[in-house]
Amino acid sequence: MRNHDGRAAAVYGACAAVWIGLMFYFSGQSGAESGSLSEAVTRWLFGWMIERGADFDKLHALTRKLAHAGIFAVEGWLAGMALLHRMNAKRAAVLTLAWCAAVAVLNELHQTTASGRVCSVADMVIDTCGAAAGLLFAVVVWHAFSAIKRRNGENTDITGD
């Protein structure tokens, strides 16, 4: 069981690292590039509302903030799953949130190296809240699968110590 959990932790950890790479790639885009991408996504998601008179600027701002939360929810889930395979849930949760908060800060600082981009504390908070939501989902999934394994008589004693 432990070998399987070690492999799963490595796969989730590798996916989390790749996801961070994608985040940093997109945060390195210029303000114009980032704005163009988020405008296209806004029009795709809310085009029908915009055609009926909805405020594009408000929907665009909403899309950008939801993207922050969603992107970090994925990171929170991936990092959480990696750590849940190696240690108890409480320790995994604390380390995952600390990790994601640090990545949020670094990502916002990295963003300032691109023209037309700024560092936003509000975005760091949104990122960390998104990570917490992803982590919560990971913990719920982890406990659900652990309960199934216990019912089936499998050993689920994974403490990481």
pLDDT values of the chain reduced to their tens digit, one per residue, 161 residues: 344 578 999 999 999 999 999 999 999 999 999 999 999 999 999 999 999 999 999 999 999 999 999 999 999 999 999 999 999 999 999 999 999 999 999 999 999 999 999 999 999 999 999 999 999 999 999 989 888 878 887 655 554 44
Q: How many domains does the chain have?
A: 1
Q: Do the domain assignments include residue 27?
A: yes
Q: Do the domain assignments include residue 57?
A: no
| pTM higher than the cut 0.75 | yes
Q: Do the domain assignments include residue 19?
A: yes
Q: Do the domain assignments include residue 160?
A: no
Q: Do the domain assignments include residue 161?
A: no
How many of the other CB atoms lie within 10 Å of CB of 125?
13
The range of the structural domain enclosing residue 132 comes to: 2-31+68-151
Query: What is the residue-wise DSSP string for 48-107?
Result: HHHHTT--HHHHHHHHHHHHHHHHHHHHHHHHHHHHHTTS-HHHHHHHHHHHHHHHHHHH
